[in-house]
Amino acid sequence: MTFKPFEEEGTLIEDQFMNWNKMIVPPYDKNSVDAYTRTRVILMNGIENNSVLTSHAIARMIDNDEIKRQLALIRRVDSQQQQTVNWLTPANQSVVETTIGYEQLAVDLTANLARNEPDDYFRQVLDFALIEDFDHLFRYGCLMEILENKDPSSITQGRTEVKPGRPTEIEHRHPYDEMREHFNKDTASIKTKMNYHTIVSAEQQTELFYKSHGFMYGNDLARKLYAEIAEIEEQHVSQYELVGDPNETPLERMALIQLNEAYNYYCCAQTEPDERIRGIWEEFMSDEITHFIMCNELMQKFEKRDIGDILRADTIKPLIVLEPNKDYVNHVIDTQVDLQPYNMRFVRTDELPSDWPSFAFREEMNAGGVPSEDVVKRAEKIVA
């Protein structure tokens, strides 16, 4: 299936604001929810959050009251939508249970984007981080066994494998080694641009979740593990955001972000088995179409440009589908696990120079013990 945004009907912005009873709806049942419904909730929470944060950042850097008013209007609706989505997560779902959902999303979302990414360099960037997120799922799975004596496959429902990838202890890199080349906004496909905004949003949300919830544990190992993996997620956000073209104007970027929200909601609705939640995805997709149109109108007025000329396409395909990707993930691990970034390219570990900045950085970070290794050893003792 494909997404044709110019054929979709939006909802009047005045009709999009929600009262508290509509905004905050009953959460899903964690014991019966489909694994990918859980991950879709996590994804769309991140998609909305990125829109709100970017809109706030733009509002602080422009001096045009009309643009600010329109962005504030869109931003308030996006904020309400985020609360609806985020509040779908039930209170009895523990932090580590939610975390397993975050990492399942990271694995299967990244795999889907990489499999359908037309830009070879961007696909390599996706594959590189995919192996690391796969390992994070394994480490948090060990933590779940320690804290709750629970098998992480009870969350993933067997659709995503839980086993080591690139060991987290060797993922710590000097900030300079997170630099990446960016695509050209004038030649990149609309699918590449959508993949870009999707993965930046998802990884940013993961970093924010770990940093805002990891401290809630009294267990020292859990606190350190969340801190360690949160730092890798910071690295992932850094590398992903640099793939985007910084020459896009603020209005162009906001138009693409609103389009990406509509695209992701549309994708979610196509495979959502929960009828009630599917209705939320469909309603919010229509809202985002209106936001997309509003941003385009601002571009037409203040930049004398039309988003259609930027997209150079009226269809986005293929759709983003959250589904098992075991064969693809295993192939990437088998062929790329020993890659590391060097001068914005990816090389085998034995090809790295001895003065590669990340060697010294990693040694400093891991001095005194590595939580991601300690959690595996602790879990092995429990199993034994």
Using pLDDT thresholds of 50, 70 and 90, give the confidence band for residue 279.
very high
**pLDDT surpassing 90 at residue 61:** yes
Quote the pLDDT of residue 278.
98
Quote the pLDDT of residue 375.
98
Runs of H (alpha helix) within the chain: 20-23, 35-59, 65-86, 95-115, 120-148, 153-156, 190-213, 220-243, 250-271, 275-302, 307-311, 326-336, 357-365, 371-383
Quote the pLDDT of residue 382.
85
Q: What average pLDDT is seen over the chain?
A: 98
pLDDT digit string (tens) for 75-120? Answer: 999 999 999 999 999 999 999 999 999 999 999 999 999 999 999 9
**pLDDT surpassing 90 at residue 1:** no
Using pLDDT thresholds of 50, 70 and 90, give the confidence band for residue 292.
very high
**pLDDT surpassing 80 at residue 384:** no
pLDDT digit string (tens) for 195-232? Answer: 999 999 999 999 999 999 999 999 999 999 999 999 99
Paired with 341 in beta bridges are: 346
**pLDDT surpassing 90 at residue 175:** yes
pTM for the complete prediction? 0.98
- In this structure, is the dihedral angle defined by the CA atoms of residues 233, 239, 244 and 250, taken in order, positive or negative? positive
End-to-end CA distance of the chain: 48
Using pLDDT thresholds of 50, 70 and 90, give the confidence band for residue 165.
very high
What are the DSSP calls for 17-80, one per residue? ---HHHHS-PPP-TTT--HHHHHHHHHHHHHHHHHHHHHHHHHTT---HHHHHHHHHHHHHHHH
Q: How far apart are CA 132 and CA 125, in angstroms?
A: 11
Share of the chain above pLDDT 90, in %: 99
Q: How far apart are CA 28 and CA 138, in angstroms?
A: 25
Share of the chain above pLDDT 70, in %: 100
How large is the average pLDDT for residues 177-186?
A: 98
Quote the pLDDT of residue 296.
98
**pLDDT surpassing 80 at residue 383:** no
Quote the pLDDT of residue 2.
96
